[in-house]
A and B are shown apart, each in its own frame.
Chain A
Amino acid sequence: MSGEVRVWADYERDVHESCDVVVVGSGPAGAVVAYEVAASGKDVVLVEEGPPFTPDDFVLDGSLSMARTMREGGLRSTRGGFFMPTMQAIALGGGSLVNSAICVRSPDFTLDAWCERYDLKRTTRADLDPHYQAIEDFLGIAPTPDDVQGPRNLLFRDGCTRLGFSSEPIARNVRGCRGSGECFTGCRARAKQSVDISYVPAAVEKGARVLTSVQVQRVLSSGRRAIGIEGRIVAPFTGATSFRVRVDAKVVVLAAGCMATPVLLQKSDDLANGSGQVGANLQFHPGVALMGVFPERTHPQFGATQGYHSLHFVRQGFKLETLWAPPGVLAVRLPGFGFDLKQNLARFPYAAIWDAIGSCNRSLGRVRARRSTLDPALTYALHPEDVKLLGEAMWVLAQIFFAAGATSVLPGVHRMPDEMFSLAEAEVLRTGDLRASDLTCGGNHAFSTTRMHGDPQQGVVDELGRCHDMDNLYVVDTGILPRSPSVNPMLTAMALAHRSAAEITLRT
């Protein structure tokens, strides 16, 4: 049995479909549900607002690529307490099209804390491991081999080893990586198993219908039952809307991402919000990065985009990683202006950029719907203790750089030296009077805006992703994570979606 695919240019009139299960959003979690439920023989419709991208559509230029693949042209940011750029993809495959393919299981202590603090009974290591394993097997997730690491990743390993910090090659959903360092703009080598080339085609193979360029504007409901969705056909890139779309379904699954799903619920007469938690508890993994300069060329554009990481400090609240992205994006953090800036840019061939992401569980924000658009209003404040944590993480990164042989580091922190030539100089990252406004942070990995909780008064969904207030409405994106997963969230979101899919199949 093979399903059906429709893209923007194929629509000629209003669309009205019926199915067993409609899945809103084709990112990692939505694609898993679509495949698993379709594989069980159910009639599935997967709707996605973005278009599918082929290699011919990839643009190597970072800013133009972001304008095409990211919501709000890649210029989305938090406001309120803290200005922090953050991104959400708009493409078939969602964030998996443009992320670094990092797949890490959440550590035991994190899952234990989730169960204890959020009244969860079935989210232990033993409960989730089979679901993690299923995803890993399907996507061929494996540690990054040394031959595609490139010097900047291996320097990180060497620095960690010299300091006695643990480090590991990052496990990724990749087959046949050539180390082009282009994950961020789409994998020209077709090595990254983003879900647009893995789970979604598999779902089609199992009979799912995939409707792209559909902007879902409302979840339809009657009492405690969701009865479908409605929206509009939307043109790629311009956002111009045209034909109406309605999909009637026995079960509705929201996987639109933790910044879009709350907006959709709020725009649907504040659906499933008896707890008042829809849109609340917005969390990120704020990221800070340092550039280290080495005496020898590092050829930084070669090697896996993010090939090595250290989980040594995860219990303390931060994870360390290597990083590459389009140079124009990376250069945003560099100090200087005019000739000074050019001098700093000219050191790229000798540089490595490593980053730290903080769990930052004390820092919270909110997603609110705006009146005239589906783009969310995001507020977020970085807690002073989390600012300190990020300072500590930068200090550790500086140590690793110098241990690996760097001659200097450029932290890109306001009110601090532009360049630091020794550990003694860099210690100010840890001991200085650091404020949130001094940092150039990136808002990675958003989550928790529709959190799971055993108590219907304190969470939006139960452990299986079903909304407490509804009989047949599920949320499966990172919004359901009760708090930081301590590591990159994609694999955990997919594992939880895999579990939800089994439940949805049983109840349909």
Chain B
Amino acid sequence: MLVQMWLPVLAGVLGYGAYRFLAGYPTPPDRNAALSPREYATVAAAALASYPRGGAIQPSGIDAGIPAHVDRFVAAQQPSTRLLVRLLFVLVEHATLLFPAPGAGGMRRFSSLDAAQQVAYLRGWQASRLLPRRLVFVSLRAILTMGYFADPVVLRTLGIAPRALPTPVCAADLLWPRVGQPRSTIRHRAGDVTPPGTPEPLGHEGPLHPDFAESAGERA
């Protein structure tokens, strides 16, 4: 009798859990992404809340490609650390159950909150008296900020984009191939080694690194 009474409740809880954790997330732009749709939605929402469009630096977190960068970052991690990063995103997405955002529907998952609620929710983590909450915020913001600063437009706007820098050939370049390649692929020979000299210091008027120049093909 007791079991029969609780079964519908249990089914309801499980159903809500499944809906909350799995349903309704849009497909990421890159179908081969390392991030799952729900992780992508969390990151995109957090990127826009942290870096809204306009202000002292024009591009938003989305304009600056933070979600795609975080995807590359996660893909570059080994499985154990990838799991930790994923747990961070799950926590941010669903801790609204413990620390709801202000206003109606504040316990919805983070990526489903409205924009003002998302900002207020993250500010709550930032200012929390609980160290673990602040650490979660700092970790999330660090990952997003590193993505923001990977954007050539942001770096050019601030005048801190890397400069072009010819790379001399040193004797060690005759020993090591590129990572993952066999030694047979080493392209340098003894005659390629750059003689010692006194190169000029870099200056801020010098040309940009090709990957960061405006002609590199990124959006303006």
A residues adjacent to B (C-beta < 8 A) = 5-10, 51-57, 60-64, 67-68, 72-73, 75, 83, 92, 147-148, 175-180, 182, 188-191, 196-198, 200-201, 204, 236-239, 297, 299-302, 326-329, 331-332, 337-339, 341-343, 345-346, 348-349, 373, 375, 414, 437, 440
Contact = CB atoms under 8 A, between A and B. Distances in A.
A328 B149 contact: yes
Contact of B160 (A197, A339, A349): A349
Contacts of A196: 172, 176
Interface stretch (B22-30, B49-57, B97-105): B49-57
A327 B152 CA distance: 12
A180 B163 contact: yes
Nearest to A176: B199
Interface residues of B, number: 71
B76 A326 contact: no
A237 B183 CA distance: 18
Given A51-B179, A342-B56, A349-B159, A332 B73 contact: no
B200 A178 contact: yes
Contacts of B13: none
B20 interface: no
Interface of B: 49-52, 54-57, 69, 72-73, 76-81, 84-85, 119, 122-123, 126, 131, 134-135, 138, 141-143, 145-150, 155, 158-160, 162-163, 165, 167-173, 175-183, 194, 196-204, 209, 211
B180 A60 contact: no
A7 B211 contact: no
Nearest to B182: A9
B40 to A, nearest CB: 17
A9 B180 contact: yes
A327 B123 contact: no
Contact of A373 (B80, B171, B180): B80
Nearest to B135: A83
29 contacts: A9-B177, A9-B180, A52-B177, A52-B179, A54-B173, A54-B176, A63-B69, A64-B76, A67-B73, A72-B78, A147-B201, A178-B165, A188-B167, A190-B170, A190-B194, A236-B180, A299-B159, A301-B160, A327-B160, A328-B148, A328-B150, A337-B50, A337-B122, A337-B141, A339-B56, A341-B50, A348-B158, A349-B158, A373-B80
A346 B196 CA distance: 39
B49 A8 contact: no
A24 B157 CA distance: 45
B135 A60 contact: no
Nearest to B77: A73
A10 B182 contact: yes
Nearest to B198: A176
B181 A9 contact: yes
Contacts of B143: 63
A332 B78 contact: no
Contacts of A238: 78
Contacts of B123: 337
A175 B200 contact: no
B196 A175 contact: yes
Contact of A375 (B56, B80, B202): B80
